[in-house]
Structure 1
C-alpha cells in the first residue's frame, strides 16, 4: 500500500475487491419456512441459460461497480475495467485485490491507469469479501426462482444487483473484512 501511495502522490488510495459469479436458470435451492412435517415445493428448471456478473466493491465506502456479460473471458474483464475507470472518482487510485483466475493473468489484460492489481493467494476465496456478496445475492434474490428465458434472467440479475448495491450500508456489512485496515 505504501509503495502504491508513493507512486501516486496526491491521490486517495482505496482498497477494492473484485470477483465474478455465474447466475443462471439452474439456481440455488435454499431453505424456506413451512409447517412442520410438510414438504414445501421448490422451483427447479431444466434449462441451462446463464450469465456472468463481474463485480467489485469497496468495503470501506460501500461503493460497487458491476457488469453483466454472457461470457467470461479477458475481453469481458477489459470491458469491466473500462466501466470501472468511468465510475470511480478521478481523485482516487484503486488497489484492486482479486483471485488468480486464468484470464486474470492474460497478456491482453488492460487495466486502467487508476488501478493497481494485487492477486490474492491461490485457493483462498474466503479472503475475497465479494464471495459474501455473491452468497447474499444468491440467497436473497436468485434462490427458489424460475426464469422464463435469458432476458428474464438478465432483468432479474440487474434488479438484484441494483437493489442490493444501492444500499452502501448493506455492502459495507456484507463485504466487511476485519483482516485489512481500510
Structure 2
C-alpha cells in the first residue's frame, strides 16, 4: 500500500510530493508465469491474492501454485517446462509430489539468489515503474485494481514480455 517512487519531471525548484497518511502493512501477493514458445507470441498468466484471505494466509501456498500451473497447462495445451526460483513453497514436499505425478511437467530450478535470470522479475520491475509508480492507493481494492489493470495491459504486449526474457540473457526466438 505504500507507494513506490520513481523519477518524474516538474518545474525547476518545485519538487513534486505525494502525501501518504501513515504506512499500511496491507499487501497484495501475485504469482505469475511468463510463457514462451517458439513461433507463438509470449504470454503472461497471473494470480493475485490479497493478504486478507479467508484462510488467514498472507502468502501463496503450494496449492495456489498448483492451481496456477494447472490453469497454464489447460490454456497452453501441452507439456510445460517450468523454470522457477528456490522459494520454500516451490520446494515443499507436497509440491515435489505434485510435480513427480505429472508427466507433462518438467521443473528446472534457478540457481539460488539469481533474480537476474528470472523473466518474471523484469515484469515486476515494469509494473512498479509504470502502473504503481507515484500512486498512493486509497485502499487494498484500489491496489488490487491497479495491479490487475497493469498486468492485463502487459498480457497484450508480447514485445515487453520478450524483452523481460532477453534481459535475462536467455535466448528466445520471437514469432
Residue aligning to 2:61: 73
**Larger fraction in strand:** 1
Change (3 A) 1:36 1:156: same
RMSD of the alignment, in Å? 1.9
Give the Cα separation in 1 of the matches to 2:170 and 2:8.
35
Residues 165 and 44 (structure 1 numbering): CA distance in 2 closer, same or farther, change over 3 Å?
A: farther
Quote how far apart the aligned CAs of 1:146 are.
1.7
Distance 1:118 1:47, change over 3 A: same
* Local SS of the residue matching 1:155: helix
TM-score scaled by length of structure 2: 0.79
Q: Output the CA distance in 1 between the equivalents of 2:123 and 2:19.
A: 23
Deviations 1:134-174 (A, max 9, x none): 10000000111122222222111111110111121221123
Q: Once superposed, which parts of structure 1, at least 4 consecutive aligned residues long, lie more than 3 Å away?
A: none
Q: What is the TM-score of this pair, normalised by structure 1?
A: 0.77
Any stretches of 5+ residues in structure 1 without a counterpart?
1-24
Distance 1:69 1:161 in 2: 14
Q: Aligned pair 1:116/2:92, yes or no?
A: no
What residue in structure 2 maps to residue 56 of structure 1? 33
Q: Does 1:27 align with 2:3?
A: yes
Query: Any residues of structure 2 matched to 1:15-164 within 5 Å, and which?
Result: 25-45=1-21, 46-59=23-36, 61-70=41-50, 71-88=59-76, 90=77, 92-109=78-95, 110-111=98-99, 113-164=103-154
